[in-house]
A and B are shown apart, each in its own frame.
Chain A
């Protein structure tokens, strides 16, 4: 199939076979970097899901948090009183406001003395725009019931109908739903009233933490009037300290690995192309166009990258499946294919740096005894 493309890959493919040791080496390096990037991406995705999967379920165009005077908004400290809720409800352009309470606490199944860290959500029933929302589906009917995410149910070892204890009060498990997390603790949903009481018992104010607002309001103006900040759901994630620090450091590692990958591939192909500068001059003297030689070189890099990335990706999926049983690890297109594509693009960019040797090779040097 490669021979059908003219000089493209005709020479490159044969060079790959001829210098297979060198290309296996760079291919292995690319595979290992892909494995590292894939693992970090999967881990980052897993950790992110354990931080924010429940927050991303909150309905609304904007999430409103308290704006402290001297610091950035934070889910951990945000407290929105009745006046603030009312102000947002009456603001121009606002269609609906859903007050949501979030606080971290501990829970244990009745009869045991083995508490588990949980995130308590206080959610109203029948909130607008929550028809098939996996978080709001857990909302119980009464103040003595709770809905558990599957992670919380697993950690507590309970089923529907069992009783659990939170801040000294007993609650009946009314529903068990999807695996939802908040700041590395599994989610547990209560009625707003039950949540308010629990919040006060763990040192909170009992007031809503965040408002899920829909509509088309002047977000900045209303926020300024109410000492709040209204962000899109994604932008509001920066108010989760654990998420910000984890994603920041892991993202930096991934970015550095991408950079290293481009540098390694670029350095390899620069040296490789310089070594074959004489052959390139001969091909030019014989009548090869610079364009065909450039395509040949890039085709060679693409083959090496494709094989290396493919092997690395297979290892990520295989090992990631195993790791997922013990670690927060997510295998998805975003954590596998997306980094692979970035690796390929940056690798090709690195290889493109080597093309100067191809474009500048002087066919005249093929004559005489210069070689």
Chain B
């Protein structure tokens, strides 16, 4: 579970500050895909950045819980936040952001090596999950291909598998269909929803495109840094 509690984030703008997120409270439960939508510049990507610990909010908390242990990610040091992303948060970027030198399999294997001193056991565990996840996203046959040898949809599938290979409690997805046609976009959204339900992951998904909203369990709309629709559970506006 991930919960943003009364999060406010401002950026400097000359002598003033502009508010990107204004007292946002948002909860993503395990096994659900929570969509965050809104117009460009509304603050939805900033919410994702705060949830991903890539930026620290001015105030408020980012609670991440595995059921027994809850931590406030907003209070972590840079080093602790990096460790949290490495171990408990998965991120799927808008442009897939695969490393050009690595094959699809290696894109996943690298997750076991991000800490530098990662134990051999942990590497072995993640390596064992790599093939299972590549199969889950339908890319077993393409495991040896590099990013430039894959289609846009295939690259995004690899990115999704990479986001889940270390079994994170939270999956953060940024505009996963923006570079895909409608058919491929629908496949990707279904894949994210399926994996989220199957793996009991709390998924926050930023999208400006509501064509695929059937794949979402919850949906909130952000305008001018504020959530304008109810938050809890049944907020989906279909």
Contacts and interface: CB of A to CB of B under 8 A. Distances in A.
A368 B52 CA distance: 13
Interface string B74-86: 0000010011111
Contacts of A284: 82
Interface stretch (A15-23, A112-120, A215-223): A15-23
A285 B45 contact: no
A10 B93 CA distance: 22
Given A287-B86, A367-B49, A292 B101 contact: no
Contacts of B178: 369
A289 B113 CA distance: 10
Contacts of B70: none
Interface string A1-38: 00110111011001101110000000000000000000
B236 interface: no
A285 B116 contact: no
A7 B100 contact: no
B101 A7 contact: no
Contact of B110 (A4, A7, A278, A295): A7
B180 to A, nearest CB: 14
Contact of B54 (A11, A289, A364, A369): A364
Nearest to B148: A18
B55 interface: yes
Contact of B48 (A6, A15, A292, A367): A367
A94 B79 CA distance: 66
Interface string A285-296: 111110110010
Interface string A334-371: 00000000000000000000000000000110111101
A19 B148 CA distance: 13
Nearest to A18: B101
Contact of A368 (B45, B85, B99, B100): B45
Interface in B64-96: 79, 82-87, 89, 91, 93-95
Contacts of B55: 364
Contacts of A14: 101-102, 106
B97 interface: yes
A286 B91 contact: yes
B116 A8 contact: yes
B110 A371 contact: no
A7 B114 contact: yes
Given A364-B54, A369-B94, A17 B101 contact: yes
Given A7-B116, A367-B45, A369-B94, A286 B86 contact: yes
Interface residues of A, number: 32
A283 B100 CA distance: 12
Nearest to A290: B82
A289 B84 CA distance: 11
Contact of A282 (B52, B99, B109, B113): B99
A305 to B, nearest CB: 19
Contacts, number: 107
Given A279-B99, A287-B86, A367-B48, A7 B94 contact: no
B85 A287 contact: yes
Contacts of A6: 113, 115-118
Contacts of B102: 11, 14
B113 A10 contact: yes
B79, B101, B109, B162 — most chain A CB neighbours (10 Å): B101
Interface string A228-265: 00000000000000000000000000000000000000
Contact of A287 (B114, B120, B174): B114
Nearest to B90: A286
A232 B84 CA distance: 63
B146 interface: yes
B48 A286 contact: no
B195 interface: no
A279 B54 CA distance: 16
Contact of B101 (A3, A11, A282, A286): A11
B85 A291 contact: no
Contact of A283 (B89, B114, B118): B114
A371 to B, nearest CB: 5
B111 interface: yes
A57 B118 CA distance: 57
B90 to A, nearest CB: 9
A369 B95 contact: yes
Given A364-B54, A369-B178, A288 B114 contact: yes
Interface in B34-59: 45, 48-49, 52, 54-55
A297 to B, nearest CB: 12
Nearest to A296: B116
Interface in B171-216: 174-175, 178
26 contacts: A4-B120, A6-B116, A6-B118, A7-B113, A7-B116, A8-B116, A10-B106, A10-B113, A14-B102, A278-B97, A279-B100, A282-B99, A285-B52, A285-B54, A286-B86, A287-B89, A291-B116, A292-B115, A292-B116, A366-B54, A366-B91, A367-B93, A367-B94, A369-B95, A369-B175, A371-B97
Give the top 7 A-B pairs by smallest Cβ distance, nearest first. A287-B86, A292-B116, A18-B101, A287-B85, A7-B113, A288-B114, A15-B101
